[in-house]
Structure 1
């Protein structure tokens, strides 16, 4: 690249939480390789995720540590409370910026931190939205926030089955009211906390640029739509943001640290036939209800598949008595953190039952593993629709919150069938994997990152 970048300083600010921080740190690594100087704003509790990267780039990567401010919890939604708490850092960032000998030329901040658009304006710099979610779900979310008053007026009875048809979005997605994020369903017009949150979300669309953790072959039509929606072309698809295949250490440590179980887990996988194992994980937030857990484990017992089941046991979600002993010859139950990307990339894994969090979806695609979708909250319903209805790389296992329970016999049959023969979903996911690999290997995502760096460096 002709434009020098070594003196170009960016501030990267993630929303707290592993699902947001991990892809931002993957982005950080790509920017460092292109010669930028980066400061990552991070909580003291999350610095362990950043420190390995600092050890590799000690002169060009810095951290700005902060403590999460304490505020009175919002009576409406914990996410609103967390977003409002981040707004209390406005003056802290201004003071840091004004005292820095070479302050950043732009701030790249999470889509939940819409208030940083006002911060950037105050500092006289550009703000770039970083979305760890996809462009399809983003187009839905921002359309809903734009029209939430009108939509709630149309569904004045709060009917869970009220069908939303978003004709302005490509492919005219439709979904029931119960699949709308709960923070929108609970929205109260005029309430100070809700209006602050909505203002921040809408501010994303007025930012100088938007960066999505996705790639053109997956969501090109929605990237183009977002460019029209915001009225400019500084919208980039730069994903999948994942460690390189030739960096096994980064793959094994992505998002956590290895435990004593891992040697046994991978030895167990090494003994299995290629594409014969189902990997089941619902992310860091979701806990299955007791009915859901019993349906899932019942399906596993009825099926013939080998499996790895990741569980977060609680009072309402525990394994049936004796399940682990009965399944000892066919499956592993894991109750600790595991390196999901490394597991998905193992040749023995041929199926992924997922909650459809965007990080998990990208890891599944990059690994070429067919997915069974079980969305629960937030953008997961849109992500599942993208996988199943548009890309054809998955099948539905279940949908909804604690009251939605899969049929035991049908799910067992679906798992068995998904791992047998040359199913079209398995063929298509291999094609999409190749497209994802190409995008980040001198393809469209590499191009978009290079364009972004060149424009930023000209500042």
Structure 2
């Protein structure tokens, strides 16, 4: 392992992309203490993800700020998030290249490898230019990665027929998938949005990558794993990270609202846990429908709901829930909650990190997808892995949500779903054992990342 290795890490500073990338880098840095890691993201993103760390606690990782592309005094229009993404994309790659030079001067060592969010396809060209490996990290499931890699084939297939109700037969492991379950960026013209353009270019560049890395495990989708291994130089599943974090004895996340002590008072596998991540809140009518369903089912629930969304709850619902084993928090220590035996089902937006956490601790899911890969994820949860349900019609209604909760918690078919997720959890546990597939893949990744390029 060379002390001259200097790894540049490029983050995509939106949604839940940056934290999983930092988790990966911290694992690599701990395994290669003599290697320097420079972590590049926007100042806002860095201040958030490094907020719990002091600068001198980062060891061989150093954070650098890159421009977010937002002009001084800029006033955002209607969709601030999409506009911010577009401005950031427009600023790449110059914003990264500029700061890389600063990091090389600080370290006294040239960059020897690029580890980047897979979205940042320009890193492929940069890595070729400076003669170093490019390791893109895909932060979602192998199924959505496959969909993006087959973008041209999918577009050709749907161009000649009606899109509605059409199913795909061309992607190994995704036969029978409905077109409408695909991420919108796969279906839209690549010039329609900066993100669609970025993802299309990413799909063209990934086969050139030295290795493509996922926070997943090979055994979750064997057919997709085999196919992607044939399309990419190296396809390395190195997760699930929740199981690795649990095994690493990291200090537990805070529990200021005492979720765990509340769970201790509930029966085994009885609690409905509800969370839609850090970005999403369901529409007001769906919040009402979900609340009414919980009240009708008379089940204990733990609901992570932002303060601004509570105003949409039915009048008096919070007080009635508090008296009938319902608990509201603005934030929950999700991994610790899902790990608790009292949780019987997880109601979720179906983001990949949430799915992995649910699988890691054997909790069935009820899915209400919103955007991106979430529709495809929910289809895999219900029909691929058979570890949960998508709510009827893809939105919360009172009757549909009641049916889903009762199906999971009370029916014989629900018991089969619980068994399926238990089996998948065991496969995940096997993958992270000392000779498991994810452990072997991670060792291979360390060798690639720390090998100095030929000068």
Q: Evaluate the alpha carbon distance shift between residue 245 and residue 56 of structure 1 in structure 2; reply closer, same or farther with a 3 A threshold.
A: farther
What is the match of residue 125 of structure 1? 132
Confirm or deny: 8 A CA contact 2:70 2:88 kept in the other structure: no
Matched, 1:163 2:169: no
Of 149, 153, 156, the match for 1:150: 156
Quick one: distance in 2 between partners of 1:266 and 1:190?
Answer: 46
Confirm or deny: 8 A CA contact 1:170 1:222 kept in the other structure: yes
Matched, 1:176 2:179: yes
SS in 2 for 1:419: helix
Q: Evaluate the alpha carbon distance shift between residue 202 and residue 420 of structure 1 in structure 2; reply closer, same or farther with a 3 A threshold.
A: same
Query: Structure 2 matches for 1:66-81, cutoff 5 A?
Result: 66-70=66-70, 78=83, 79-81=85-87
What is the match of residue 83 of structure 1? 89
Question: Structure 1: any 5+ residue segments left out of the alignment?
Answer: 253-257
What is the match of residue 419 of structure 2? 427
After TM superposition, give the deviation of residue 349 of structure 1 in Å.
0.9
Quick one: distance in 2 between partners of 1:279 and 1:191?
Answer: 35
Of 381, 388, 411, the match for 1:387: 381
Confirm or deny: 8 A CA contact 1:289 1:316 kept in the other structure: no
Query: Structure 2 matches for 1:8-87, cutoff 5 A?
Result: 8-17=5-14, 19-36=16-33, 37=35, 38-45=37-44, 46-50=46-50, 52=52, 58-70=58-70, 78=83, 79-87=85-93
Query: Structure 2 matches for 1:20-419, cutoff 5 A?
Result: 20-36=17-33, 37=35, 38-45=37-44, 46-50=46-50, 52=52, 58-70=58-70, 78=83, 79-96=85-102, 99=105, 100-144=107-151, 146-147=152-153, 150=156, 153-154=159-160, 161-177=164-180, 179-187=181-189, 195=197, 198-230=200-232, 232=233, 234-242=234-242, 244-245=245-246, 250-252=251-253, 258=254, 260-261=256-257, 263=258, 265-312=259-306, 318-334=312-328, 336-400=330-394, 404-406=395-397, 408-419=398-409
Provide TM-score, normalisation by structure 2.
0.86
Q: Evaluate the alpha carbon distance shift between residue 153 and residue 269 of structure 1 in structure 2; reply closer, same or farther with a 3 A threshold.
A: same
After TM superposition, give the deviation of residue 106 of structure 1 in Å.
0.9
Quick one: distance in 2 between partners of 1:133 and 1:273?
Answer: 33
Confirm or deny: 8 A CA contact 2:155 2:187 kept in the other structure: no
SS in 1 for 2:90: helix
Question: Structure 2: any 5+ residue segments left out of the alignment?
Answer: none
Confirm or deny: 8 A CA contact 1:239 1:445 kept in the other structure: yes
Total equivalences in the alignment:
438
SS in 1 for 2:301: strand
Quick one: distance in 2 between partners of 1:368 and 1:248?
Answer: 20
What is the match of residue 431 of structure 2? 439
Q: Evaluate the alpha carbon distance shift between residue 169 and residue 421 of structure 1 in structure 2; reply closer, same or farther with a 3 A threshold.
A: closer
Quick one: distance in 2 between partners of 1:399 and 1:6?
Answer: 55
After TM superposition, give the deviation of residue 182 of structure 1 in Å.
3.2
After TM superposition, give the deviation of residue 198 of structure 1 in Å.
2.6
Quick one: distance in 2 between partners of 1:347 and 1:192?
Answer: 43
Q: Evaluate the alpha carbon distance shift between residue 115 and residue 332 of structure 1 in structure 2; reply closer, same or farther with a 3 A threshold.
A: farther
Confirm or deny: 8 A CA contact 2:114 2:127 kept in the other structure: yes
Q: Evaluate the alpha carbon distance shift between residue 320 and residue 189 of structure 1 in structure 2; reply closer, same or farther with a 3 A threshold.
A: same
Q: CA RMSD in A?
A: 3.0
Confirm or deny: 8 A CA contact 2:66 2:96 kept in the other structure: no
Quick one: distance in 2 between partners of 1:317 and 1:119?
Answer: 49
Confirm or deny: 8 A CA contact 1:307 1:332 kept in the other structure: yes
After TM superposition, give the deviation of residue 304 of structure 1 in Å.
2.5
Deviations 1:249-268 (CA, angstroms, capped at 9, x unpaired)? 5441xxxxx4742x2x2221
Quick one: distance in 2 between partners of 1:247 and 1:18?
Answer: 25
What is the match of residue 255 of structure 1? none
